[in-house]
Homo-oligomer: A and B are copies of this chain.
Amino acid sequence: MMKRVYNFYPGPATLPLGALETAQKELLDYKGTGMSIMELSHRSKQYAEIHEKASSLVKELMGLPDDYSVLWLQGGASTQFYMVPVNLGIQGKKMEYVHTGVWSKKAIKEAKFYGDVEIVASSEDQNFSYIPKDIVFSDKAAYAHITGNNTIYGTEFFNWPMTHTSVPLVCDMSSNIMDKVIDPKKFGVIYAGAQKNIGPAGVTLVIVREDLLQRVSENTPTMQKWKIHAEKDSLFNTCPVWAIYMCKLCLEHLQSIGGVSAIEKANRQKAKMLYDVIDGSNGFYQGHARPDSRSLMNVTFNLPTPELEAACVKEATEHDLIGLKGHRSVGGMRASIYNAMTLEGVQKLAEFLTTFKEENE
C-alpha cells in the first residue's frame, strides 16, 4: 500500500503525483523502446522530443518572447552565481545587487571574484524580513541582480524594480519560478534550480535574452559560456536526461491544470490560508515576513517558545505534515508550499496549526 505524506520541505520538494506516476510507469521501458529514459542516448530521437518539449513548455507557460533562449544546465543556482558575472560582467562597470537574504549574500560573494559589486538596497537591518522599496539601479551598471523569492526568510518580490534599458535585470527565481504570471520582457536573465517549483534536483533552468549571449569574453572556458549552451541547445555535453524528463512531466502537469495564471490563483489561496491562521492567532504565531513582502512559496513563522516550536514540528510530523522546521537563520517554522503542494495539504496544515494553538496557548 502506497503511503503519501504532505511534504513541506524547502527543496527538493513535493512533485505532482501524476508526474511521479508517469515516471514510474515509464521507468523500465520508455514508450516501447525497450530502454529506460536513463539508458537512452541524449542524441537519440526519443530523447530529442523530450528535450524540445521541455523547452517549448517553458516558453509557452512563461510567455517568453522569441528572442529568449532556454538553457538546461547543471550545478544549481550556486553555479550561476559565478556564471552571471562571467557572462554579463563588463570591465570597468559595477555589478549591482539587492541584498535580501542568504542566497543574495552568496550571489554577491561569487560576483566579487570578477569585479566590483555595489549593494544598492538591503533588508539586512531587519533580519531580511522585507523586500526593499524604491530600489534605484544606476544606468552605469553591467547588470542588476535580485533574488525573486527568499526561501529562508519567506519574502518575495511582487513589483520588479526598474532598470535602465542598457542594464539587464537578472533574477534568481529558484524558489518562485512560475509561481505567478510575470512579464518576462522586464528581465535580461532568469535562472532557477529546478528542485523547488518545476522538477527534481539536478538541473538548472537559465533563460537569457539572446543579445546578452554575446557579452562573454572569448577567453572563457567553454562550459561557463551560456552562448555555447544556447548554440548547442543545451547539448554541448551530456545533459541530465532524467532531470529534464522529470521537468517536462511536471510542466505538462502545470499546463494541464491551466498554466501559470491558474497556479498563481491557487498559490495565493494557499498562502492566504496560512497567513490567515497566523494573523488570527492573537500573536501565538508570529510571521517573520512583513505583510507587504510575504512570500507565496515559503511561509515563515515563530511560536512563543523554542520548546513549542519543536513540539509543533514533532506533532505535525506525526500527522504526516513533513519538513516544517525553520531554517536556523530565522528559527521557528517554515511551510514551503510550492506549485506542487495541493490545496488539500495546506488545508490540513492550517487545521493542524489552529488546533495546536487551541491546545497550547
Please report A residues at the B interface, Cβ cutoff 8 Å: 2-5, 7, 9-15, 20-21, 23-24, 27-29, 32-36, 38-42, 44, 73-79, 81-82, 106, 109-110, 113, 193, 195, 200-203, 219-224, 236-243, 246, 320, 322-323
Measured CB to CB, the nearest residue on chain B to A33 is B5
Would A202 and B9 be within 8 Å (CB), given that A113-B220, A320-B34 are in contact? no
**Residues in chain B near residue A243, CB distance under 8 A:** 202, 240, 242-243
Q: Please, which residues of chain B bring their CB within 8 A of the CB of A40?
A: 9, 12
Task: Give the residues in chain B near A35, CB-CB below 8 Å.
Answer: 4-5, 7, 14, 322
Residues in B with CB closer than 8 Å to A36 are 15, 20
CB–CB A241/B28 < 8 A: no
Q: Which residue of B lies closest to A1 (CB)?
A: B29
| In the complex, chain B residues whose CB is within 8 Å of the CB of A75 | 73-75, 79, 223, 237
- Distance (Å) between the CB of A110 and the closest chain B CB? 5
Question: Cβ of A41: which chain B residues have Cβ within 8 Å of it?
Answer: 9-12, 323
Most B CB contacts (10 A, CB to CB) among A32, A36, A195, A203 go to: A36
The answer to whether B38 touches A20, judged by C-beta atoms less than 8 angstroms apart, is: yes
Q: Which residue of B lies closest to A195 (CB)?
A: B238
In whole Å, how far is A37's beta carbon from the nearest beta carbon of chain B? 9
Please determine whether A238 and B42 come into contact, CB atoms closer than 8 angstroms.
Answer: no
Chain B: minimal CB distance from A349 (Å)? 15
**Complex formed: what's the CA distance from A179 to B41 in Å?**
20
Closest residue on chain B to residue A238 by CB atoms: B201
Q: Is the pair B28, A21 in contact by a Cβ cutoff of 8 Å?
A: yes
Nearest to A76 among chain B residues (CB) is B237
Whose C-beta in chain B lies nearest to the C-beta of A9?
B41
Q: What is the chain B residue whose CB lies nearest that of A78?
A: B237
- Enumerate chain B residues within 8 angstroms of A77, measured Cβ to Cβ: 237
Q: Please measure, in the bound complex, the distance between the C-alpha atom of A42 and the C-alpha atom of B7, giving whole angstroms.
A: 13
Are B113's CB and A219's CB within 8 A? yes
> With A and B bound together, what is the CA distance between A2 and B23 in angstroms?
15
A84 CB, min distance to chain B CBs, angstroms? 11
Q: Which of B12, B219, B246 lies in contact with A238, CB distance below 8 A?
A: B12
Contact A39 B10 (CB under 8 A): no
